[in-house]
Amino acid sequence: MSNVNKITEVFDPAADGRASRWEAHRTARHEELLRLARKAVHQLGPQVSIQEIANHAKTSKPVYYRYFGDKEGLRQALGAMVITDFRQRVIAAGLAKQDEASALHAMVTAYLELAANSPNLYFFVTAVPRDAAAAGAPAAGGDDASGALNDFFEEITSLIAQRLTSLPAAAGATAISLWPRAALGMVRAAGEQWLRQPGSPDKPSLAALADELTSWLIYGIAATR
């Protein structure tokens, strides 16, 4: 009779507990560093460096590199956090309205409100990476979204397309297939230009801009309501 060697895996509860605690610590630290980076960008501007973010967080630059790799990695992680807020608020605003015109107005308003809450943070998470810009990627306001931002735009586009069929102007398949993304591009481009404008009596309020954009989208710029 041959001997059969059996290999039995020994479960070490203590070791498993240490691994779980370490993973929980890393997750908590990751979230903390993101929150601190969010505050730093909000206060210091979209061109803030990793060193400035680390100084603001009272830690070292290597700590941020260890958790996020580089500035682009941090931008993507922070973008995922910020875009989650956008998704929840904008989509909820659209779904809360019964008629399509009101839904579109609510979504435009929510988008502008979130961007206006922190223009620095908005421009940081929507910025085109340097390597993409060098390769000829479109400037801000174009179809240059990636990752969580692109997923958000696709979700908004789909929602608009679903509700567009009830608008009188949406008579053909071309409008349904192209208009939602074009509408989103116009709102984004106009909103970003508005955010960059210095305060003055000629600058429209957020509510006035939301009204105008919604009117342009539904009736056209030359139409009389």
Which long-range contacts does 35-38 make (Cβ < 8 Å, 24+ apart)? 37/64, 37/74, 37/78, 38/78, 38/81, 38/82, 38/121
Please give the backbone phi and psi of residue 202, each rounded to the nearest 5 degrees, phi first.
-85, -15
Question: Of 30, 29, 36, whose CA–CA distance to 56 is shortest?
Answer: 36
User: Model's pTM, two decimal places?
Assistant: 0.77
* Amino acid identity for residue 217 in this structure: L
Give the Cβ contact number of residue 39 at 10 Å: 15
pLDDT at 223: 61
pLDDT at 168: 56
Q: Per-residue pLDDT tens for 48-66?
A: 999 999 999 999 999 999 9
Taken in order of first residue, the domains within the chain and their CATH numbers are: 15-69 (1.10.10), 75-219 (1.10.357.10)
Give the Cβ contact number of residue 224 at 10 Å: 5
CA distance linking residue 163 with residue 176, whole number of Å: 9
* Amino acid identity for residue 153 in this structure: F
Q: By 3-state DSSP, what share of the chain in percent is helix, strand and coil, each rounded to 5?
A: 70, 0, 30
CA distance linking residue 152 with residue 160, whole number of Å: 12
Q: What string of pLDDT tens digits covers the 225 residues of the chain? A: 555 554 445 555 555 667 777 677 788 999 999 999 999 999 999 999 999 999 999 999 999 999 999 999 999 999 999 988 888 899 899 888 888 889 899 999 999 999 999 999 999 998 866 554 444 444 444 433 457 778 888 888 888 877 766 655 555 666 677 888 888 899 999 999 999 999 899 999 999 999 999 999 888 877 655
Give the Cβ contact number of residue 172 at 10 Å: 9
DSSP 70: S
Please give the backbone phi and psi of residue 166, each rounded to the nearest 5 degrees, phi first.
-90, -10
pLDDT at 141: 40
Through-space distance between the first and last CA atoms of the chain, rounded to whole angstroms: 95
pLDDT at 193: 96
Q: Is 25 left (phi over 0), alpha (psi -120 to 50) or beta?
A: alpha
pLDDT at 221: 76
* Torsion sign over Cα 129, 133, 138, 143: negative
